[in-house]
Amino acid sequence: MSAVAEQGRAAGRRETVAGLPPAGIRFLSVMVGLVAWEAYGRALHSVIFTYPSAVVRAGYELIVSGELQFYLKSSVIVLSLGLVLAIVLGIPLGILMGRRAVIEHAVDPYVNALYATPLVAVIPVIVVWLGFQTKAKVVLVFLFCIFPILINTYQGVKNTDSRLVEVARSFCSKEWRLWRDLILPSSAPFILAGIRLAIGRGLIGMVVAEFYTTITGLGYMIVQYANTFRMDRLFVPVVVLMIMGVVLTGVLRHLERRIAPWLYVAREE
């Protein structure tokens, strides 16, 4: 949905549609959806259905009791540890793969095999090996996150203008300087896009891991309230996850545009 909107903006379509600015249309659309949901939910009057105002009330209760913050904190810790680990290992490994043919061919089969594997399938293995605690979940989030970062970094490195690499060689640049002056800035847009994809996958990995281990976290909250048919409370962690996803990928998208202004020259007047 927002990808389409992005494209529209990129193409310079800022004019109003049907007398409304695009932001107004989107706001109205969301309001209509929420009101319809509310009306339908109230009319249905069923225990296994809920509606927005009930979710808001449940959210308020969960915040006042401190339960939401408690589980959110545990989820955020797992997500950030796994993501940071994936970034710290994924970027250098991706650059090495892009710059050194030996490493490229040595690592490639593992990356391909693991990236193609539905990682949900290895959750039981990880749990058996590492238990139900934070460690297992961090490893899972890490596994979900590292491949888009690694692969995007590698592609960014391969995409570096070979003529600029030649300029660096002409000035007798050392390899590590080349990374700093050339490889990293040139692949930065790719890396950021990789991190954005990783966040999406990391959120999935985090929730699924919490479903499976059912000790703590937003995923655990969901399972717990689903089992007791507290649909209003169940939707609270779902909404929180949605907000996390939207905010994090939004921030990354914004950074992507900021970090490589030279890629958007043609769009400026």
| Contact residues: another protein, CB under 8 A | 163-164, 166-174, 177, 181-182, 185-186, 260-262, 265
Exposure string of 47-82, with b = 16+ CB inside 10 Å and e = fewer, is: eeebbbebbeebbeebeeeeebeebbebbeebbebb
Residue 121 CB-density burial (10 A; 0-12 exposed, 13-18 middle, 19+ buried): exposed
Residue nearer to another protein on the CB measure, 73 or 267: 267
Contact yes or no for 210/219 (Cβ under 8 A): yes
**Closer of 4 and 172 to another protein (Cβ):** 172
End-to-end CA distance of the chain: 27
Cβ 108 to another protein shortest distance, Å:
25
Least gap, CB of 257 to another protein (angstroms) = 14
What is the identity of the amino acid at 74? S
d(CA 197, CA 207): 16
In whole angstroms, the minimum distance from the beta carbon of 175 to another protein comes to 12
Encode 242-256: b = buried (16+ Cβ within 10 Å), e = exposed.
eebeeebbeebbeeb
Other C-beta atoms lying within 10 Å of the C-beta of residue 100: 13
Maximum Cα interatomic distance, the chain, rounded to a whole number of Å: 74
Q: How far is the CB of 205 from another protein (least distance, A)?
A: 33
Q: Which is nearer to another protein, 14 or 174 (CB)?
A: 174
Would you say 110 or 262 has its CB closer to another protein? 262
Nearer to another protein, 191 or 208 (CB): 191
Q: How far is the CB of 174 from another protein (least distance, A)?
A: 8
